[in-house]
């Protein structure tokens, strides 16, 4: 078997191309808070960024080893190679790394709880538990039709509104709509993943939403998730600068057309990465508009 460089193997296992999904919501929530208050608490922001990324990395590592143990990363897989299934990393080592990431996130969360109080405690506990439950336990979220909803809740509502709360110690309707927009793009990333793996998932009983609604239904779902954030910008029209985000709309249409046109296969690995990049681009322009 091909011997992968250990550093490269770990880099592959954390799935760096999608890590922006955990960074964008913290950036958006904090920028919205600053636009409303004119104050930015830098230490809670940086700690929240680190904790969010560690939870996502821990989730990715746990997914890597759990899918291997459940037989989900077999020879028919068309997604990127997985470190555990490929034999590059030992399952026990990957599991320890996942638990370490969750553990450090909990330690960082202790400071955030001290700073933000019980709402942050509840959000932190739910986030770590959900990260484990995504592919762990008797009924993994990733093996059900709830994957997109999970991502929208935790990488949208939870992360954006939690970051906003850390800055303001309160919530607002604007924070909810901003969180909904960011979460929709994150959910679209999951749609690409599940659409790509639909045939293999169906064979092993991994009943994702893509398996349940089929390829046509997934195409419609992806289209809605990619365009709805731009409609939700109407709810934040009083922040005139947020319209900068619409500069990414042609990119969204390009990815939608590509999703509909391409035959399921390795090309969807690139579409997945580009969808995450679109979310990041949308978020950067959204923040720039808020702060302009």
Q: Kindly report the CATH number that applies to the domain delimited by 6-291.
A: 1.10.600
Q: Map residue 5 onto helix, strand or coil.
A: coil
Contact 209, 172 (CB under 8 A): no
pLDDT of residue 177: 97
Q: What is the mean pLDDT of residues 230-241?
A: 91
Residue 73: its pLDDT value, please? 60
Residue 138: what pLDDT?
74
Q: Which band of pLDDT confidence, cut at 50, 70 and 90, is reported for residue 74?
A: low
Positions of E strands within the chain? none
d(CA 220, CA 24): 25
Distance CA 272, CA 18 (A): 8
pLDDT at 3 over 60: no
Rounded mean pLDDT, 231-243: 91
Question: Mean pLDDT, to the nearest integer, of 173-185?
Answer: 97
Residues 151-176, mean pLDDT to the nearest whole number: 96
pLDDT recorded at residue 2? 45
251-285 confidence digits (pLDDT tens)? 999 999 999 999 999 999 999 999 999 999 999 99
| Domain definitions of the chain by residue range | 6-291
Position 135 pLDDT exceeds 80: no
The rounded distance, in Å, linking the Cα atoms of 131 and 128 is 5
Average pLDDT of the chain is 91
- Between 179 and 6, where is the model more confident? 179
Which whole number is the average pLDDT over 193-209? 91
Whole-angstrom Cα distance, residue 74 to residue 128? 28
Mean pLDDT of 24-30: 97
DSSP string, 96-114: HHHHHHHHHHHHHHHHHHH
- Is residue 258 classed exposed, middle or buried when 0-12, 13-18 and 19+ CB atoms within 10 A define those classes? middle
Instruction: In whole angstroms, give the CA distance from residue 195 to residue 202.
Output: 11
Q: What CA–CA distances, in Å, run from 140 to 43, 128, 146?
A: 34, 14, 10
Residue 146: count of CB within 10 angstroms of its CB: 16
Alpha-carbon gap, residue 68 to 44, rounded angstroms: 36
Check residue 1 and give its pLDDT.
Answer: 41
* pLDDT band at 85; cut points 50, 70, 90: confident
Q: Look up the pTM and report it.
A: 0.92
């Amino acid at each position: 078997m091909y011997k992968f460089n250990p550093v490269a193997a770990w880099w592959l296992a954390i799935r760096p191309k999608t890590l922006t999904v955990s960074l964008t919501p913290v950036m958006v929530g904090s920028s919205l808070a600053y636009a409303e208050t004119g104050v930015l608490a830098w230490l809670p922001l940086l700690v929240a960024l680190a904790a969010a990324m560690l939870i996502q990395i821990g989730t990715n590592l746990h997914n890597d080893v759990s899918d291997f143990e459940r037989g989900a990363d077999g020879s028919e897989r068309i997604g990127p190679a997985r470190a555990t299934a490929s034999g590059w990393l030992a399952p026990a080592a990957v599991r320890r790394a996942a638990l370490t990431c969750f553990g450090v996130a909990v330690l960082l969360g202790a400071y955030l709880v001290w700073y933000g109080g019980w709402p942050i405690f509840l959000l932190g506990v739910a986030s770590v538990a959900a990260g484990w439950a995504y592919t762990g336990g008797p009924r993994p979220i990733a093996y059900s039709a709830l994957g997109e909803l999970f991502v929208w809740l935790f990488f949208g509502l939870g992360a954006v509104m939690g970051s906003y709360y850390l800055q303001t110690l309160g919530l607002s309707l604007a924070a909810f709509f901003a969180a909904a927009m960011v979460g929709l793009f994150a959910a679209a990333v999951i749609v690409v993943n599940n659409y790509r793996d639909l045939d293999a998932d169906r064979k092993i009983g991994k009943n994702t939403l893509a398996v349940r609604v089929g390829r046509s239904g997934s195409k419609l779902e992806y289209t809605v998730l990619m365009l709805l954030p731009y409609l939700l910008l109407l709810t934040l029209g009083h922040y005139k600068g947020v319209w900068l985000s619409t500069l990414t709309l042609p990119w969204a249409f390009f990815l939608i057309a590509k999703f509909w046109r391409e035959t399921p296969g390795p090309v969807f690995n690139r579409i997945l990465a580009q969808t995450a990049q679109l979310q990041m681009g949308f978020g950067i322009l959204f923040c720039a508009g808020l702060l302009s």
